[in-house]
Structure formats: C-alpha cells, structure tokens
Amino acid sequence: MTHHQTDTPQFFLTAPSPCPYLPGQMERKVFTHLVGARASALNEILTQGGFRRSQNIAYRPACETCKACVSIRVPVDRFQPGRSFRRVIEKNRDVIGMRVAPAPTSDQYSLFRAYLDARHAEGGMADMTVLDYAMMVEDTHVETMLIEYRFRGPDSAITGAGEGPLIGTALTDVLSDGLSMVYSFYEPDYIDRSLGSFMILDHIARARKMGLPYVYLGYWVAGSRKMAYKARFRPQEHLGAQGWEPAK
C-alpha cells in the first residue's frame, strides 16, 4: 500500500502530453495529493495559488513553453449581471438549485453521460464509467458539495427543492474565501437556457448569501473556444506573477 505524507505535501510533475485546449501545444502539470486531516486547508491554499482539484489531487499547469492558462475568480460583491446575464436569469426563473451531500446517483450519471456525449465526445472524460463518476464525487478529503438543479414545483417555496428530472449538477468545493466550481454539467437539449452560465450566476448569488468574497472558475485560455464563456463574467481577477489582480 502506498502512503502519502500529509504534513509536508510532495509535488510531482507529469510527462508531456497533447494540450486539450491549444492545438500543437504540449502540456505538463505539477500535482500533489490532498489526503489526511489537513487536506481541506491545503486545498484552500493551493486553490488560492491557482491549483485545481480532481478527486484527491490538486494540480496546475507547468508547461515549459506556454503560459496560456490563467486562473480566474469573480469578486462577488462587485459583480452585477449585465443585460445578457439578466436574460439568462429570467429564462431560468423556473429552475431551482438545491445543495445536497456529495453522493453520486443514477440520475446524476445519466445526465453526466448525456452531457459528455453531446458536448465532449472526444474529450479526456468521454470514457468515464459510473464507477469513475462515483470516484469523482466521493473520492475527496475536502469540504465539497453538489448543487442539483430541477424545475420549480408547487411545493418548492416550502421545501426549497425542485421537482421532476435533473437538468443540471455542479460539484463545488467550499472554501473560507469562496466557492470553487470543480465540475458542472447540464441537460444538452436545453441549449437556449444557457444552463452553464446560469449555474455560475447561481453560485455567485450563493457565495454572496454565504458572505464569501469569491467564486473560483478555474482556468481561462485565450484563443480556446471551450474557455471563452468564462471571460464574460466581469469584473474578474486573474492570478499573475504579483498575485491576484483585476483583469484588464
């Protein structure tokens, strides 16, 4: 059995592999394991330093010839939705998100598979099985949660829960200074609802209610169509050599 040191984390470097965002580029990542009693504290420090979490691993790009990946976060108190985002909110007035324990369900996996097949059929997660999905949700030592999105029902005002089929899910870490969106997916047939943007807007609203200053959105890559939507959430801060700074 392999034992990982929890008091002093060890960092490792991956071998070069094709970049999933920029054609012709090679990527490398530096990573460490998030295990033990100090996993949550380490996850917070690393997230604030530009790392992302996948199961019990925290990683960030360490590419030798490219610095295109930029960590971004939205300052909650300064964010005000513009006209296009207000339309997204209005279109989804009949949708409600409910926080649930980080436990996988068959409904989640069915939606996850439909999302991958429609949006990322050639991506690195395309072959994930139900066991892989369960590990993505459960294999963690940090404070995390799931937000399930369903349509509002007659009793939603009382129960706080939606009804009917699951149309969106977000796996989100809870930090002392914000919410970090680890992975989200949604019903691909509802393209006109912009559910991906709606879930980010909902997380900004949740962070505001929780008194948390930031929503961490991971990496933005200039020139990548897959990442273009993140640039629309302004104002936002980018992590640079001098720390977090307002994006220009």
Rounded Cα distance between 30 and 58, Å, is: 8
Strand 29-33 and strand 57-61: the pairing is antiparallel
Domains of the chain with CATH codes = 73-218 (3.40.630.30)
List phi, psi (to 5°) of 112: -60, -45
Structure tokens at 214: 């930031």
Mean pLDDT by runs of 10 across the 248 residues of the chain is: 60 94 93 94 97 96 93 98 98 96 96 92 80 94 96 88 94 98 96 97 98 97 89 97 94
pLDDT of residue 6: 47
Distance separating alpha carbons of residues 201 and 116, to the nearest angstrom? 22
* CB of 99 closer than 8 Å to CB of 142: no
pLDDT at residue 16, rounded to an integer: 94
CA-CA distance, 86 to 206, in Å (whole number)?
16
Tell me, what's the pLDDT at 7? 63
